[in-house]
Structure 1
């Protein structure tokens, strides 16, 4: 395994607190983080503060037991892909979900420069939709 893959792996494996510290340490100051269209936090966030506030703080406050469980990592030079399954329960509706995802990272100078999310957003949206 290469250093880039190990950098990305450290942001997923361990406690939520460890993962958060590892992610903050791994992000470049101008990192670009793109959440997929159809995902509740869709859009591009630039810089660690915007990424944490726009994505991770919301995941922590709006979901119970939210996880991104990776089953496969692939490395191709400066690019690392992580494939896995999201799971969690949306607090506002009490509905749980499981959704397949892929994250594509670009690493530059030992830091995460970009992340692009691909996700089965329909499964996530079902959890956000109140029962009638």
Structure 2
């Protein structure tokens, strides 16, 4: 079982790197069978199951809409056992000329030194206003939600 300190240290490093504009450590920290659930009823909201689906169906189409580097700012990290909660904000212009400046609450579950589950709460109205809907998931990828 991951200790609170280990879980907090991993997530602190993830968000420290994200705040510098480096998302690679986040990707590297995902378990192969990780799941990422975006809450709400937006076209993006569902559970992305597996590292490949997270990369191909969420991160790639999302970042394709950004016109510049995504800037995040971590505000608070709260850890208990294998769960770590992060409050942070992000800001980026989109290729469509809109500003995507969202605020997030991420709830991580760490297992074996990797991110096993991530649940994301965010401003869903902003997503609807600033982002285009993602492409429909490929027929090879089953998904929940």
Q: Compute the TM-score of the two structures, normalised by the length of structure 2.
A: 0.76
Q: Deviations over 1:35-88 (max 9, x none)?
A: 122445221111111111122112221112333322111101100011011222
Q: 2:127 aligns with which of 116, 124, 127?
A: 124
2:65/2:131 contact within 8 Å kept? no
Number of equivalent positions: 126
Select which of 32, 37, 44 maps to 1:34: 37
Say what the alpha-carbon RMSD is for the aligned residues.
Answer: 2.0
Q: With structure 1 as the length reference, what TM-score do the two structures score? A: 0.83
The structure showing larger relative contact order (alpha-carbon pairs under 8 Å, at least 6 residues apart) is 2
Q: Specify which structure has the higher proportion of strand.
A: 1
Is 1:4 the equivalent of 2:7? yes
Structure 2: runs of 5+ lacking an equivalent: 133-145
Aligned to 1:86: 90
Match of 1:19 in 2: 23
